[in-house]
Amino acid sequence: MAKILITGANGFIGSRLAATMPVGSTVRLNGGDELVERLVLVDHVVTNSVAGPDGAEWFEGDLGALVAAQPDLFSSADAVFHLASATSGECEAELDLGINANLLSGVALGRCLASAAHRPLLVFSSTLAIYGSTPEAPLPTVVDDSTYPTPQNSYGSQKLMLEVFFADLSRRGLITARSLRLMTVTVRPGQPNGAASSFLSAMIREPLQGENANVPVNPDLKVVLNSPDGAVAGLRHAGAASDDVWGGPRGVNLPGISVTVGEMAAALAVVGGADVAAHLSWERDETIERIVASWPAEVASERAAGIGFADDKPFIDAVCDFAATINGG
């Protein structure tokens, strides 16, 4: 029997992850099958439209404040999937916001879990943005397990600091930490958020719904993505792998989809037609382009393959998946 807690559960990936583990279902955790006895969902805002899977318990509020006010809610969990985060654009625009929402709340969560007697499992949603290119240390063409992280934005820096902190708690035997570095998740529904990468979803989402979208980067810019299904499956597998299979508490790069922005536009035209693709404009934004261009364009991970993470689907399939949701498929 297991109590599972998800932070950021009202978000796109958090809500999809929660839907895969309703109360009464069986979930694999650290190499063993467990019956979900409680599913606790936490977010800073819980919308009225959120229902969640059957039996879920919702808690609304700032994560750091909730940890301080209700520590037992967190420390009693057998497994925590920590997805709550301010976005890359928000963190770059407001340093204090990112420090509080990402770094300090994550430290508070980790310390709370470390106080438990049963060594909780913590699956942390990290990011490819821990890698960045500088003139002194340019990124290799393909980022692999040996590439040294040099984040070039506050979001990536905060995520990397948490990776190191959680790994230290795991080294001490206080928690079992699994940091999984997600690529940019595309295609996301809803409205654009504050992420620098938000246009990567918007350039597909808006035209398929008859709306215009601007692409603020050069079409030759290559990015690495995860489909929504790939991200959720990756988080599930990070929690499922046994300690022996996972190995040490180092972060793992989730296999992704490497594609140019121009190829993304071409996939849109194939799925939606030329009239749909005509909704795209190409007015460049130097700030966004600088941030996104500093991230890896291709990622290879022998370690992920050894742990059993599956390859993601082709990008055009992710476009088809989103188009099907619009058409009621």
Q: What are the extents of the domains in the chain?
A: 2-183+227-253
pLDDT in tens, 114-157: 999 999 999 999 999 999 988 888 999 999 999 999 999 999 99
pTM: 0.94
List the catalytic residue out of 74, 155, 199, 295: 155
Average pLDDT (265-275) is 98
DSSP 46: -
- What separation in angstroms does the CA of 116 have from each of 72, 76, 178? 9, 7, 17
Average pLDDT (257-276) is 98
Do 178 and 253 contact (CB within 8 A), yes or no? no
Please identify, in words, the CATH class of the domain defined by 2-183+227-253.
alpha beta
pLDDT at 218 over 80: yes
pLDDT at 84 over 80: yes
**Res. 290 pLDDT band, cuts 50 70 90:** confident
Known active-site residue 131: no
Do 179 and 127 contact (CB within 8 A), yes or no? no
pLDDT in tens, 49-75: 667 798 999 999 999 999 999 999 999
pLDDT at 329 over 60: no
Higher pLDDT, 326 or 236: 236
- Whole-number percent of the chain with pLDDT over 70: 98
Q: What is the pLDDT of residue 171?
A: 97
**Res. 294 pLDDT band, cuts 50 70 90:** confident
Average pLDDT (200-217) is 97
Q: What is the pLDDT of residue 241?
A: 98
**Res. 253 pLDDT band, cuts 50 70 90:** very high
DSSP 129: G
Q: Which alpha helices (DSSP H) does the chain contain, by range?
A: 12-19, 63-69, 71-75, 88-93, 95-98, 105-114, 154-171, 199-208, 228-240, 243-246, 261-272, 274-277, 286-293, 302-307, 315-326
pLDDT at 187 over 80: yes
- Beta bridge partners, 39, equal 4, 56
Whose CA is closest to 41, among 65, 72, 64, 7?
A: 7
Q: Are strands 257-260 and 56-60 parallel, antiparallel or unpaired?
A: unpaired
Do 185 and 12 contact (CB within 8 A), yes or no? yes
pLDDT in tens, 17-49: 999 999 999 999 999 999 999 999 999 998 766
DSSP 62: -
Sequence-distant (≥ 6) Cβ neighbours of residue 275 within 8 angstroms: none
